[in-house]
Amino acid sequence: MATYSHSRLSTFEQCRQKYKFRYVDGIRVPGQSVEAFLGSVVHEVLEQLYEDVRHTKVPDSDELLRDYRERWEKQWSDDIIIVRKRYTEEHYFDMGAGFLRDYYARHHPFDEGRILGLETQHFLDLGDGIRFHVRIDRLMDEGAGVFSVNDYKTNRSLPGQDEVDSDRQLAAYSIWVRERFPDAVRVRLVWHYLAHDRRLESERSPEQLERLREEIRRVVGEIESCRAFPPRTSTLCDWCEYRDICPAWVHELKVSKLDEHEFSEDDGVKLVDRLAELEGRSLELDGEIAAVRADLVAYARRYGLSAVAGTESKATIVETESAVVPRKGTPERQVLEEKLRARGLYADLLSLDAAAVKRLDEALLEELGLERTTKAQVRLKRR
């Protein structure tokens, strides 16, 4: 039976090449980003906090922070990568300590309900041999049929309500909660954004959860039928553990280590530079060509010509008249469409392309407020 997780699906959607490295090729690269390390340690401390609470022990904030420091110092290694070089290990440590202090102050004495699970390890059966990994940071029974799925976030970005309302991870976990606990009347999805000391909530209806189940199955089907895994570059590449072997970055990283002479003599660098030079010249030529075409049209109009002869070629000038149609999304376009609806012409002229507008008579064009413009085409043929 195939097993998937939210992180596995997200990796595929974020970058198929990264997905291939991690899940198809099984490549594991040592080291992790300092952001991932911070998040991992903070999660461990909060898991221990609630494990203590479950055993009727409520540690004080100093004890919580001592646990955090001990875990940080024990697990820190030279493999941890700090991408933002202006910050040090100490800066990140202090950030995590601030997260925990704020969380402790907001939630003490941690009596929101009965703790049912911490860092759960369960699976949701989606049918057709597909299992979805359910790892809930903290699952609570709040009483009266209300359950909550709690997730801790240490990233800097704070989403809007629309984003949490469309979140897949916790919503999928709530399907499992409803199946596991038939007495669940409500399942609240709760995100604790520790960097902002904010708590965001959402809920899903049974109909939404059924659609989500089908959506996950669709993504899984896309993954299992995938044969090409192209890289997708983004700002996230700076934190990707596969950057050194990614085809989108290998050459750039290689030549960045060369001296000036070796860099300029690299065949790839030469080819890219030549292409950039030619495309730059092409843009210049496009401007020159447009200017000469305009001069040819003016010359032909001056002498009443429809063709002008050259040494080996002949230029044919074709002029057409058409109405100027406002661009989509503009107030002028909206006014025009309302006028067409009023005359019962909207369905016939829905595209409002050149061919459709040509069918309108002069009186109707004037009524619609459409002005005519003349466009000239210059076609060059060898004599």
State the pLDDT at residue 267: 94
Q: Determine the average pLDDT of the residues in 247-276.
A: 93
Domain boundaries, the chain: 31-111, 115-226, 316-382
Among positive and negative, which fits the CA dihedral 345, 351, 353, 355? negative
The pLDDT of residue 355 is: 54
Q: Is the pTM of this model over 0.85?
A: no
pLDDT of residue 321: 67
Mean pLDDT of 140-151: 97
The per-residue pLDDT for 117 is 97
Q: What pLDDT band is residue 366 in, cutting at 50, 70 and 90?
A: low
pLDDT at position 312: 87
- The pLDDT tens digits of the residues spanning 271-289 come to 999 989 999 999 899 999 9
How many residues does the structure list for the chain? 383
Q: Return the percentage of the chain with pLDDT > 70, whole number.
A: 90
- The candidate with the shortest Cα–Cα distance to 230, out of 26, 30, 21, is 21
Mean pLDDT of the 134-147 span: 97
Give CA–CA dist 111/132, Å, rounded. 30
According to the model, what pLDDT value does residue 347 have?
54
Nearest CA to 47 among 169, 170, 137, 153?
A: 137
- Does 380 have pLDDT greater than 80? no
Mean local confidence (pLDDT), 216-222: 94
| pLDDT band with cut points at 50, 70 and 90 for residue 378 | confident
- Cβ atoms of 304 and 367 within 8 Å: the answer is no
